[in-house]
């Protein structure tokens, strides 16, 4: 009896008939930049064929697709995700304008080149063009629930990815730790993305050491390997006739390391036809085609897939539909931690982000908090982790931006000809403390400006400035030149600014201005204006609201500013009498009629209050740009040059803008101006009509504008050309 029981035991547990386990399948996804999107099409066909995936291993873009697939994203969600991304924004460190602090808004879309540098030798230049802030942020969003340090082999599908340690050039297989950091390290293309520091390692894109990591999947336990290769073929000799071609070939040769050995270990090799695409082909048409090409390449091997399925040992009745994981958008957060800042700074930042502990927090609220912190430009990186669960601890990791920066701008137009703007910002304390800046413009009317500021949560921003400007321009009357004005301008300014409201700025200050005039040159000898050199002490207040999504060509938002200044020569009086003052306001809004057609209504003006207002503070109007020659100069379509107007000046303007294609714009602008010495009589006077028709092209160097304009004031057809940002 005992002998029968022993035989029965052996038959049940040791006999292979009907009890054999199927072979384990490893899916290997190569790197290739944008071409890695084709992996999605391949995986869709594998699922359709009923091929199980027991291990996923990837490099670079293969690690991103593979990592997300491993934690539960189904192929339909991955497909939709890559199609709907703003890839140009994602693969940059740009910040949407409405997330910038007000001082940074004033700096945007002004410079064409920026060169950051640090105070220490180790931080003088960045290690890559892109720090990866936006892509890291996306990875964090997509991996909520997997932010804790973990073993990647315990994911729904065991996962590993490959990076390279640039200290010794060795391959690093990442199988545990921070999943987001691992994917980010695997895609850190040298010289493009900054490396990832992990303990004593400095990690970059794993493609340079093992871009087709079949051996890693084998080491994890895979019996059968399905390898997807999205690398381009090596170019032929006649194709290597340019620097980009040669550099691309060199990079591709590096990525061929270990390829032949790994290819021999592959049971099914799938290579989509992607030769006409590059690692940067992230446009919508390319994405659609690459996903299709991946699907097409896998379907072309359908018979091999079915044969491989039998070899794996998959029985049809055992094939299960992969469970779809649902990812939430709202989380209960017990505690919030801010890492990388001092205790005092942490208290201030908690008030800034406005997130509350022991309550629900949405992803959108986390996004706004991160954007408000990163938008100050005080931090090189801001990332988050939701630890634990289902009740989470929110950890915000901040890395102070201790780099200073050099900015360079350029503009060419038909009025001032060429102008170059140079700006140097030195940050002694990135978050709170002293900052200094130097700005110089080289043009027909050059200036230099020095700024020194103290930023502190208690006193906001205290700023001390000095500017010297040389002005040489002509004054016109109804389009005819009447005199030439030349003077040297000195400005000393002490101001206090509230900078901590993202879309609002309020500033009060004390200002000293000195105008050193040369004798005027009149076209007509009978004309005389006696203007003396003198200084003015003024008190001023400025309030601004600005929510435009872009400085040029905004598609939503509004801008409003109002300023009031009181002018004296001895702090209390001017020429022994009451001081005079100036009140100005400017409003522009965007009314979207369609996705391409916008209406931009504007109203702006300036009113002088008091008697005997001196020449430097009269109302000036003309040209295309606010404050081109005089700070108070107002633009007007149809008046080409600067002209003097009466003490009350009001302009209404309507701009109709049609976008053609992605960067071409056609504009029709009409404006109407009223003027009078007494503001309350301004509606009784005959107004000035003017308008323009223009074409603009949005380039990386700034707008290109071609404008034809005319008014009943000058009765002359004018033309204006501009290339570059206004400054």
Q: Are residues 161 and 59 in contact, defined by beta-carbon separation less than 8 angstroms?
A: yes
CA angle 104, 408, 632 (to 5 degrees): 60
Q: Are residues 379 and 88 in contact, defined by beta-carbon separation less than 8 angstroms?
A: no
Cα–Cα nearest to 34, from 158, 138, 189: 189
CA angle 596, 600, 603 (to 5 degrees): 180
* In 135-208, beta strands by DSSP E: 150-151, 159-165, 170-174, 176-177, 191-193, 196-198, 201-205
- Written as six digits, the tokens of 178 are 């921070």
Other C-beta atoms lying within 10 Å of the C-beta of residue 598: 21
Cβ burial, residue 446 (10 Å; 0-12/13-18/19+): middle
What is the distance between the alpha carbons of residues 446 and 179, in angstroms, rounded to a whole number? 52
Catalytic annotation, pick one of 205, 229, 267, 676: 205
Catalytic annotation, pick one of 30, 60, 465, 696: 60
Contacts of 721 (CB under 8 A, 6+ apart): 413, 414, 705, 706, 707
Q: Are residues 551 and 565 in contact, defined by beta-carbon separation less than 8 angstroms?
A: no
Cα–Cα nearest to 714, from 646, 638, 642, 643: 638
Name the phi and psi angles at 690, rounded to 5.
Answer: -160, 160
Q: How many residues does the chain have?
A: 727
Any catalytic annotation for residue 205? Answer: yes
Question: Is the bond preceding residue 299 a cis peptide, omega within 30 degrees?
Answer: no
Any catalytic annotation for residue 60? Answer: yes
Question: What's the chain's Rg over C-alpha atoms?
Answer: 33
Name the phi and psi angles at 332, rounded to 5.
Answer: -90, 120
- Written as six digits, the tokens of 438 are 């130097």
What is the distance between the alpha carbons of residues 50 and 312, in angstroms, rounded to a whole number? 11
Contacts of 301 (CB under 8 A, 6+ apart): 268, 270
What is the distance between the alpha carbons of residues 655 and 657, in angstroms, rounded to a whole number? 6
- Written as six digits, the tokens of 453 are 């500021």
What is the distance between the alpha carbons of residues 690 and 635, in angstroms, rounded to a whole number? 11
Other C-beta atoms lying within 10 Å of the C-beta of residue 329: 9
What is the distance between the alpha carbons of residues 599 and 588, in angstroms, rounded to a whole number? 10
Q: Are residues 185 and 163 in contact, defined by beta-carbon separation less than 8 angstroms?
A: yes
What is the distance between the alpha carbons of residues 369 and 336, in angstroms, rounded to a whole number? 12
Contacts of 510 (CB under 8 A, 6+ apart): 493, 494, 495, 537, 538, 539
Other C-beta atoms lying within 10 Å of the C-beta of residue 115: 13
- Written as six digits, the tokens of 442 are 């080289």
Cα–Cα nearest to 703, from 685, 688, 721, 716: 721
Could you give the residue numbers annotated as active site? 60, 205
């Amino acid at each position: 009896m005992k002998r029968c029981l022993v035989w029965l035991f052996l038959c049940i547990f040791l006999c292979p008939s009907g009890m054999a386990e199927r072979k384990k399948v490893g899916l290997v996804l190569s790197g290739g930049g944008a071409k890695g999107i084709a992996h999605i099409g391949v995986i869709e066909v594998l699922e359709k064929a009923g091929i199980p995936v027991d291990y996923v291993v990837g490099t670079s873009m293969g690690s991103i697709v593979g990592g997300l697939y491993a934690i539960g994203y189904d192929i339909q969600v991955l497909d939709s995700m890559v199609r709907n991304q703003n890839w140009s924004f994602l693969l940059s460190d740009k910040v949407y304008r409405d997330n910038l602090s007000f001082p940074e808004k004033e700096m945007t879309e002004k410079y064409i080149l920026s060169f950051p540098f640090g105070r220490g030798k180790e931080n003088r230049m960045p290690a890559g063009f892109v720090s990866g802030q936006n892509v890291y942020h996306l990875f964090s969003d997509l991996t909520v629930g997997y932010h804790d340090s973990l073993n990647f082999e315990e994911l729904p599908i065991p996962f590993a990815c490959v990076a390279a340690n640039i200290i010794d050039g060795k391959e690093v297989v990442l199988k545990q730790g921070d999943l987001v950091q691992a994917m980010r390290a695997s895609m850190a293309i040298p010289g493009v993305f900054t490396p990832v520091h992990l303990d004593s390692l400095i990690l970059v894109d794993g493609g340079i050491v093992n871009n087709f990591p079949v051996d890693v999947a084998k080491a994890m336990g895979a019996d059968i390997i399905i390898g997807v290769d999205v690398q381009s073929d090596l170019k032929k000799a006649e194709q290597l006739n340019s620097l980009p071609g040669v550099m691309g070939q060199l990079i591709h040769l590096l990525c061929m390391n270990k390829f032949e050995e790994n290819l021999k270990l592959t049971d099914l090799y799938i290579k989509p036809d992607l030769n006409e695409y590059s690692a940067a082909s992230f446009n919508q048409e390319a994405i659609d085609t690459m996903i299709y090409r991946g699907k097409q390449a896998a379907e072309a091997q359908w018979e091999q897939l079915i044969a491989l399925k039998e070899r794996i040992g998959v029985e049809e009745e055992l094939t299960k539909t992969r469970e779809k994981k649902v990812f939430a958008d709202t989380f209960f957060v017990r505690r919030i931690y801010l890492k990388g800042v001092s205790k005092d700074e942490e208290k201030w930042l908690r008030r800034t982000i406005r997130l509350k502990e022991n309550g629900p927090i949405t992803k959108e609220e986390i996004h706004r908090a991160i954007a408000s912190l990163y938008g100050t430009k005080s931090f090189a990186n801001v990332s988050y982790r939701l630890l634990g669960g289902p009740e989470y601890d929110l950890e915000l990791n901040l890395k102070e931006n201790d780099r200073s920066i050099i900015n360079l701008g350029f503009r060419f137009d038909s009025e001032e000809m060429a102008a170059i703007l140079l700006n140097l910002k030195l940050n002694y304390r990135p978050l709170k403390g002293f900052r200094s800046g130097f700005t110089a413009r080289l043009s027909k009317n050059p200036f230099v400006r020095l700024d020194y500021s103290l930023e502190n949560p208690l006193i906001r921003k205290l700023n001390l400035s000095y500017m010297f400007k040389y002005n040489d321009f002509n004054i016109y009357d109804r389009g005819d030149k009447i005199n030439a004005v030349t003077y040297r301008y000195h400005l000393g300014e002490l101001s206090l600014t509230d900078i901590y409201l993202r879309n609002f700025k309020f500033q009060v200050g004390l200002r000293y201005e000195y105008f050193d005039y040369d004798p005027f040159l009149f076209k007509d000898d009978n004309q005389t204006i006696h203007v003396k050199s003198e200084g003015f002490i003024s008190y001023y207040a400025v309030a601004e609201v600005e929510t435009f999504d872009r400085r040029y060509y905004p598609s939503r938002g509004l801008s409003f500013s109002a300023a009031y200044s009181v002018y004296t020569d001895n702090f209390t009086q001017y020429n022994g009498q009451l001081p005079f003052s100036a009140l100005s306001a400017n409003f522009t809004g965007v009314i979207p009629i369609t996705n391409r057609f916008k209406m931009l209504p504007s109203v702006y003006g300036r009113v002088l209050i008091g008697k005997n207002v001196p020449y430097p503070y009269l109302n000036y109007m003309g040209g295309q740009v606010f404050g081109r020659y005089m700070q108070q100069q107002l633009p007007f379509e149809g008046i080409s040059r600067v002209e003097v107007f009466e003490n009350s000046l009001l302009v209404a303007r309507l701009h109709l803008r049609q976008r053609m294609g992605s960067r071409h714009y056609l504009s029709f602008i009409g404006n109407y101006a009223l003027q009078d010495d007494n503001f309350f009589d301004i509606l009784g006077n005959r107004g000035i009509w003017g308008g323009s028709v223009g074409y603009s092209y949005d380039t990386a160097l700034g707008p290109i504008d071609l404008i034809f304009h005319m008014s009943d004031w000058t009765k002359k057809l004018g033309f204006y050309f501009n290339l570059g940002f206004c400054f």
